């Protein structure tokens, strides 16, 4: 039975906690006394408590994040009710700031704030030796990568076979965007490149296929980013996939040449534009050359097979609906594969709160702390924006409507993609009454009905376009409501099978 259990509630099973694996790898002589057990937020807290207590640990360390804060609070309450003597240590961004008044902090024995890679072992040793934590709140000193054991051996064979492998070549961010916790992580620190690449080789040798880099600015150090891209390019095999978060306006020729050599759909760049309003960008301390960023995205789309995932944030202080719409339309014109429409969140510790009074920002007091209204966007319109974001993800980002999507604004007055999809979003919510659990077949019918009855498109053209999109994912069952508008030989046409994994990205390239 382990003395120490490390655990967390991930958002989904496919996610594997990199932070817990860092803690395990850096436990030193306590490593043999520890176990790592992960759950996800769909597990009931009572079932999680049962599984943890069955191990009869003396210490349980829990990672607390915005997506699991409520569930973790209920879990800690249960653990303390059943085993009052159990030492509970908390860590993670949700409890690293504004700890006063958090119920989960009050119930825990110790909270480690900041990067706990090394501090966790110190606290565990003190608890096991002295029967008490050194203090209730323990700030962690900022570790350098030279001090850390890399965590990649902690991924199990099951992780490698079934889950996304999270890795990092650097920590921190040189920018000061006020909505982001990473802006507080200064300075930027690089993992030792040789040791890091050796660890990546071991993962490849063990069969790892999906790598998601959590670096906030992967292309900040160009020498390192080039070396890592060259490493994976030289070893690439079909089915492997690599995700990187890139600075939009930093993409020199050396990176362009490397990116162009990856097979289509094997490389994904997450590119955070966030806003195209220069006054808003300056207000939140986001430094960005918009023209250069746009030119870089144009190059990526025209000359590479990189799958592009871009970000915009709605509800920023000083940005109204018209400004956000203009930014959305500007980004649509660049033709990224995906636009994630995010809603501003007031994360604990971030300086975005300094704008609350001036711009009349009202935030949800509970996770995910999303903005409810601003002085420029009403609560009703913010609700509509949230539905817009969800429906855009289902239709615009999913890869299920790649050809169909442009029909929404083809006949729209003014040709604004935002205005056209905003109208569809409001229409769809009035009919579906929900933004989740809409089956694809039902969604296809909603799209068909809207484009033919509201947007004024000819039914046969819409049906043919939808059928091509529907088949792109390897589907053979022609929806009954499309069949009257399709010839029989079209509905029986051979289907190109989609790749068994990465279907969302693969559909954009099939």
* pLDDT digits 0-9 by tens, 117-135: 999 999 999 999 999 999 9
Of the ranges 182-191, 241-250, 319-328, 403-412, which one carries the lowest mean pLDDT score? 182-191
pLDDT at res. 476: 86
Buried/exposed 1-17: b ≥16 CB within 10 Å, e otherwise: ebbbbbbbbbeeeebbb
Mean pLDDT of the 191-204 span: 97
Fold category of 164-377 in CATH = pyruvate-formate lyase- activating enzyme (3.80.30)
What residues form DSSP beta bridges with 313? 342
pLDDT at res. 174: 83
The helix (run of H) or strand (run of E) holding residue 212 is: strand 210-213
Buried/exposed 248-257: b ≥16 CB within 10 Å, e otherwise: bbbbeeebee
Q: Which two tokens stand for residue 148?
A: 């850390």
pLDDT digits (tens, 9 = 90+) for 270-283: 999 999 999 999 99
pLDDT at res. 489: 59
Is the link from the previous residue into 368 a cis peptide, with omega within 30 of 0?
yes
Tokens 């993992």 appear where? Answer: 191
Verdict on whether the full-model pTM lies above 0.85:
yes
Please tell me whether residue 52 adopts helix, strand or coil conformation: helix
Distance between CA atoms of residues 311 and 272, nearest Å = 5
Mean pLDDT of the 349-373 span: 96
Above pLDDT 90, what percent of the chain? 87
**CB–CB of 433/376 below 8 Å?**
no
pLDDT at res. 239: 93
- In the chain, what are the domain boundaries? 4-144, 164-377, 400-510
Please give the span between the terminal C-alpha atoms of the chain, in angstroms, as a whole number: 50
Distance between CA atoms of residues 324 and 462, nearest Å = 29
What residues form DSSP beta bridges with 186? none
pLDDT digits (tens, 9 = 90+) for 364-402: 999 999 999 999 999 999 999 999 999 999 999 999 999
pLDDT band at 493 (very low <50, low <70, confident <90, very high): low
**CB–CB of 192/169 below 8 Å?**
no
Q: Which two tokens stand for residue 360?
A: 């009349």
456, with CB counted inside 10 A (0-12, 13-18, 19+), is: exposed
Please tell me whether residue 394 adopts helix, strand or coil conformation: helix
* Homologous superfamily (CATH) for 4-144: Cobalamin-binding domain (3.40.50.280)
Above pLDDT 70, what percent of the chain? 96
pLDDT at res. 123: 97
**CB–CB of 41/11 below 8 Å?**
yes
pLDDT digits (tens, 9 = 90+) for 50-78: 999 999 999 999 999 999 999 999 999 99
Res 407 pLDDT > 90:
yes
């Amino acid at each position: 039975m382990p003395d120490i259990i490390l655990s967390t509630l991930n958002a989904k099973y496919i996610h594997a906690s990199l932070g817990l694996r860092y803690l395990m790898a850096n436990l030193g002589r306590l490593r043999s006394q520890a176990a790592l057990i992960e759950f996800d937020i769909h597990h009931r807290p009572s079932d999680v408590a049962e599984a943890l207590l069955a191990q009869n640990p003396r210490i349980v360390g829990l990672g607390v994040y915005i997506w699991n804060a409520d569930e973790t609070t209920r879990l800690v309450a249960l653990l303390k009710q059943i085993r009052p003597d159990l030492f509970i240590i908390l860590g993670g961004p949700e409890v690293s700031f504004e700890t006063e008044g958090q119920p989960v902090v009050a119930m825990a024995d110790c909270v480690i704030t900041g990067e706990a890679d090394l501090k966790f072992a110190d606290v565990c040793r003190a608890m096991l030796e002295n029967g008490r934590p050194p203090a209730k709140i323990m700030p962690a000193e900022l570790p350098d990568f030279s001090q850390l054991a890399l965590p990649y051996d902690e991924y199990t064979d099951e992780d490698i076979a079934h889950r996304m492998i999270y890795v990092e070549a650097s920590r921190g961010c040189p920018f000061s965007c006020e909505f982001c916790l990473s802006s507080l992580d200064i300075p930027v620190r690089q993992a030792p490149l040789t040791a890091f690449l050796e660890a990546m080789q071991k993962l490849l040798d063990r069969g790892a296929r999906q790598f998601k880099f959590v670096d906030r600015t992967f292309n900040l150090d160009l020498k390192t980013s080039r070396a890592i891209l060259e490493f994976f390019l030289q070893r690439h095999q079909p089915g492997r996939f690599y995700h990187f978060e890139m600075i939009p306006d930093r993409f020199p020729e050396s990176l362009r040449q490397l990116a162009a050599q990856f097979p289509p759909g094997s490389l994904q760049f997450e590119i955070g534009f966030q806003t195209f309003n220069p006054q808003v960008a300056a207000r939140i301390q986001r430094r960005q050359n918009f023209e250069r960023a746009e030119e870089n995205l144009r190059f990526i789309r025209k000359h590479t097979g990189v799958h592009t995932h871009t970000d915009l944030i709605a509800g920023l202080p000083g940005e109204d609906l018209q400004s956000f719409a203009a930014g959305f339309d500007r980004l649509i014109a660049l033709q990224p594969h995906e636009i994630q429409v995010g809603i501003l969140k007031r994360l604990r510790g971030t300086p975005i709160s300094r704008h609350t009074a001036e711009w009349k920002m009202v935030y949800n007091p509970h996770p995910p702390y999303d903005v409810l209204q601003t002085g420029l966007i009403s609560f009703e319109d913010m609700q509509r924006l949230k539905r817009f974001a969800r429906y855009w993800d289902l239709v615009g980002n999913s890869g299920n409507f790649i050809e169909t999507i442009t029909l929404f604004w083809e006949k729209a007055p003014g040709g604004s993609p935002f205005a056209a999809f905003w109208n569809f979003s409001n229409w769809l919510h009035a009919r579906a009454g929900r933004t989740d659990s809409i089956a694809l077949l039902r969604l296809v019918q909603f799209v068909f009905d809207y484009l033919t009855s509201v947007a004024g498109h000819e039914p046969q053209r819409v049906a043919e376009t939808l059928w091509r999109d529907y088949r792109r994912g390897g589907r053979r069952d022609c929806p009954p409501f499309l069949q009257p508008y399709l010839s029989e030989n079209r509905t029986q046409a051979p289907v190109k099978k989609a790749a068994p994994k990465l279907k969302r990205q693969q559909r954009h390239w099939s």
